[in-house]
Amino acid sequence: MASVSVNDISVRDAMGDERRLNEWAGKVLLIVNVASRCGFTRQYAGLQQLQEAFGPRGFAVLGFPCNDFGAQEPGSLSEIKQFCATTYGANFELFDKVHATGAKTEPYLTLTQVEPAGDVAWNFEKFLVGRDGTVLARFKSNVEPESRELIDAIEAALG
């Protein structure tokens, strides 16, 4: 099966403006569906640590709030950003809310051709995207940002 690039996918930023992921072309991305009232919410701190550690090498965390799983992201985007900044010191890019399940699933969540296959199962699933926009790996919610598995994959993608 041919690789699919995420570079031409359009998303809505925090201001409601449409942006294309190709703005990050040439960078390694970690795309994460996030939620502020989830058992995995503490991962915000680890995601920020990844941003700080690898950002200078051409890496970016892109967070997409999602309220599909247990209604664990009920707030507005401004409330979510405030919570992330004050509670976890997180200042990586957050976008408008997305859907990770059902007919309205965001395109970036359907392009992955890597294991584990199938629908997004919960908050804080992570998609590692290479510099060319190809999804390289997918990590389930229980894979912590500090895990050796994820860090090794990021380092390999950065080269």
pLDDT reported for residue 109: 53
Q: What domain count does the chain have?
A: 1
Tokens of 120: 């997004």
* Confidence grade of residue 142 (pLDDT, cut at 50, 70, 90): very high
Q: Domain for residue 95, yes or no? A: yes
The model's confidence at residue 3, banded by pLDDT at 50, 70 and 90, is low
Residue type, 87: T
Nearest to 47 by CA among 152, 100, 126, 136: 126
Range of the domain at 104: 10-158
In a domain, 75, yes or no: yes
Quick one: average pLDDT of 90-101? 82
Q: What positions carry a catalytic annotation? A: 38
CATH number of 22's domain = 3.40.30.10
Contacts (Cβ under 8 Å, ≥6 apart) of 42: 88
Place of tokens 């598995």: 149
Position 73 in a domain: yes
Asked whether residue 2 is assigned to any structural domain, the reply reads: no
